[in-house]
């Protein structure tokens, strides 16, 4: 089964990632991973850091002549901003000359120093930074490639930024469009929304927040096509795909809400208005005319499109900081300011795609797995014949 491990600090020398358990024979290139990394760096409302970094992955192990060899895949992503932080982020012994002592409300700063006993929030700032998600995108892209070999595709789009929502009728129509179209439209938008007029309103909301030194959150949606029925399990709590997906998506920085299909809307409806009636056809087999469940029933895929939504809170680093307390003097002061984005919802949707791939790949391998891609193809062909 596939596991990932990431290491590194936001302003350290770089990020290190290891992906273990990938079957042999999967074609993967650094260029393909870089394409996904580039998508993560886009989006209206990103801060100055994205002007510094030009993320390009360096593969150091686990791949030979463009194919996985069954051993752990090791990758590196160097931080260009390291040049500006060498003195503060050196790994060599020495004394800290500049301590950061005012935690930011809404960030991991205070909880981190309470947990580890630091007298400086810098170690917490560095590891809790969303910079770490760049490595998750890199590793998730490898999992994504494996799923693509079997016709499983992933796309995302933004449905809300601040108080600006995508048109409900448009959002509903999106669910019947191809994922290629969704990706094409969202990738062409600076806020990754599917309607130009809504996109303009979202960007105006971001500009207004920036002018007042504030930040905005929002909601994005991830769609997955090509999933066979039967991934996941209803027999054990920890194998329910609902829970696996929730853990992966909610592990993304600043994600505070998650739903499958129209879960929160459905909670206020009657059962007869919510559940997807079942039909049967000789050619199609079992099918549903609606997909209000979002592609999951009982923790198991139904064969319909998987639809996930995630809510991201506004970024806690503000140009006009909230009140906080110096951890040394306990004096009330303004919170620490760190270079940041004013809105990262578009970027978070790309991270959401990567984490969705990582959530799905193990249930997929549990059902169809093998030591090589060719072996998986044989299992796939047998079970789908």
Tell me the mean pLDDT in the region 99-110. 94
- Cα 53 to the chain's mean position, in Å? 19
Structure tokens at 64: 């030979």
Number of Cβ atoms within 10 Å of the Cβ of 264: 11
For the chain, percent of residues with pLDDT exceeding 90: 83
* CB count in 10 Å sphere of residue 284: 9
Question: Could you report the per-residue pLDDT of 307-366, keeping only the tens digit for each?
Answer: 999 999 999 988 889 999 999 999 999 998 877 789 999 999 999 999 999 999 999 999
Q: What domain range is 78 assigned to?
A: 3-383
* Residue 84 backbone phi and psi in degrees, to 5: -90, -5
- What does the pLDDT average to over 279-303? 93
DSSP one-letter code for 354: H
CATH number at residue 169: 3.60.150.10
At 63, list the tokens. Answer: 């791949």
Average pLDDT over residues 285-289: 91
Across 25-39, 158-172, 282-296, 311-325, the highest mean pLDDT is recorded for 25-39
Give me the chain's average pLDDT, please. 93
Instruction: Count the residues in the chain.
Output: 385
Q: Find tokens 């909880």 and name the residue.
A: 111
> For the purposes of burial, counting CB atoms within 10 Å of the CB of 157, is it exposed (0-12), middle (13-18) or buried (19 or more)?
buried
Helical axes 345-368 vs 373-383, angle rounded to 10°? 70
State residue 317 phi and psi, 5-degree precision: -80, 120
pLDDT tens for 127-173 read 999 999 999 999 999 999 999 999 999 999 999 999 999 887 677 77
Angle (deg, nearest 10), helices 345-368 and 133-148: 40
Distance, CA of 23 to CA of 90 (rounded, Å): 37
Structure tokens at 160: 């809300």
Least trusted range by pLDDT, from 81-85, 271-275, 351-355: 81-85
Both tokens of residue 75?
Answer: 């990758």
- Do 240 and 232 meet the contact criterion of CB atoms below 8 Å apart? yes
- Number of domains comprising the chain: 1
Span between the terminal Cα atoms of the chain, in Å: 25
Helices 30-41 and 345-368, axial angle in degrees (round to 10): 140
SS3 125: helix
């Amino acid at each position: 089964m596939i596991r990932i491990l990431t290491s590194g600090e936001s302003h350290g020398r770089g990020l290190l990632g290891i992906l273990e358990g990938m079957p042999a024979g999967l074609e993967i290139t650094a260029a393909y991973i870089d394409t996904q990394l580039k998508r993560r760096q886009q989006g209206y409302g990103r801060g100055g850091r994205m002007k510094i970094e030009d993320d390009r992955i360096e593969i150091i192990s686990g791949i030979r002549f463009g194919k996985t060899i069954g051993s752990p895949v090791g990758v590196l992503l160097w931080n260009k901003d390291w040049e500006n932080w060498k003195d503060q982020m050196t790994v060599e012994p020495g004394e800290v000359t500049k301590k950061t002592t005012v935690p930011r409300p809404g960030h991991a700063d205070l909880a981190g120093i309470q947990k580890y006993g630091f007298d400086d929030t810098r170690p917490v700032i560095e590891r809790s930074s969303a910079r770490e998600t760049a490595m998750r995108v890199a590793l998730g892209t490898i999992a994504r490639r494996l799923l693509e070999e079997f016709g499983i595709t992933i796309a995302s789009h933004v449905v809300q930024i601040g108080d600006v929502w995508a048109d409900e009728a448009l959002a509903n129509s999106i669910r019947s469009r191809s994922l290629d179209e969704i990706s094409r439209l969202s990738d062409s938008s600076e806020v990754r929304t599917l309607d130009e007029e809504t996109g303009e309103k979202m960007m105006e909301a971001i500009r207004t927040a920036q002018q007042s030194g504030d930040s905005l959150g929002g909601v994005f949606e991830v769609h997955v096509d090509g999933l066979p029925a039967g991934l996941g399990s209803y027999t054990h709590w920890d194998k329910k795909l609902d829970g696996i997906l929730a853990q992966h998506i909610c592990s993304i920085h600043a994600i505070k809400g998650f739903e499958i299909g129209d879960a929160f809307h459905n909670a206020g409806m009657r059962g007869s208005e919510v559940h997807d009636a079942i039909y049967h056809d000789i050619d199609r087999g079992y099918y549903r005319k609606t997909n209000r469940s979002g592609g999951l029933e009982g923790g198991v895929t139904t064969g319909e499109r998987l639809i996930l939504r995630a809510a991201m809170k506004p970024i806690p680093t503000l140009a006009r900081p909230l009140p906080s307390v110096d951890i040394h003097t306990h004096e009330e002061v303004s919170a620490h300011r760190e270079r940041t984005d004013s809105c990262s919802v578009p970027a978070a949707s790309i991270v959401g795609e990567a984490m969705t791939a990582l959530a799905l790949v193990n249930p997929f391998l549990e059902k169809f797995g093998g030591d090589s891609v060719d072996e998986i193809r044989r299992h796939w062909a047998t079970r789908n014949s």
